[in-house]
Chains A and B, each alone.
Chain A
């Protein structure tokens, strides 16, 4: 059974386009995250939602807009795509008892290529 799933797995698009990545988790977790992994494999948090409420918003361009329709889903919409947005985007989730020890479970990633 897939715990954290993302669609699509690959996304190739032109500069200036708008695209969305979807994430779903069936773990019953109440906190979800988006991470960006660049070409050097550096992983950086972008956003976090707890019970559909935005709680972490790192210094990400406002072209990126997350949306959480319910606790099990967290989507990422990107407007006016730029070459520098090319990366692998990971969704993650955790059951948040409200501590640093909450294990984050990652999805398989979406490789976004902007041409």
Chain B
């Protein structure tokens, strides 16, 4: 059972456009929602994250929108740049004693055309 569903699988956006990636989760025990960015040949790196008691978080050109009642969240990349071309993973986290468990979506491959 896939606990975090992510769409679209791939996305092509023109430079300067807005990239939007959507995720939905099922497990209400998740209480932290990070997004990771992965460039080819590299490991994923935290991009931005949000707690479920906040509806929106913005960091530079990246914004997370969160809808707790719908159990959905999305990443918006404003003024998309070719350097943003990467695979983006949404994730949902639950904590335990001394650890956190990340459940990832299947990823969205973003290509920003010049």
Contact = CB atoms under 8 A, between A and B. Distances in A.
A4 B36 CA distance: 16
B48 to A, nearest CB: 11
B97 interface: yes
Interface string A10-44: 00000000000000000000110000000011111
Interface stretch (A59-67, A72-80, A102-110): A102-110
Given A41-B87, A108-B43, A109-B42, A96 B99 contact: yes
B99 A56 contact: yes
A55 B100 CA distance: 10
B106 interface: yes
A101 B43 contact: no
A99 interface: yes
Contacts of B94: 100
Interface in B74-114: 87, 89, 93-104, 106-107, 109
Nearest to A50: B98
A101 B101 CA distance: 10
Interface of B: 30-32, 34, 36, 38, 41-46, 49, 51, 87, 89, 93-104, 106-107, 109
A72 B107 CA distance: 29
B49 to A, nearest CB: 7
Interface residues of A, number: 30
B106 A55 contact: no
Contact of B46 (A55, A99, A103): A103
A103 B43 CA distance: 14
A42 to B, nearest CB: 5
Contact of A48 (B30, B93, B99): B99
Nearest to B30: A100
Contacts of B36: 106
Contacts of A99: 32, 95, 100
A55 B102 contact: no
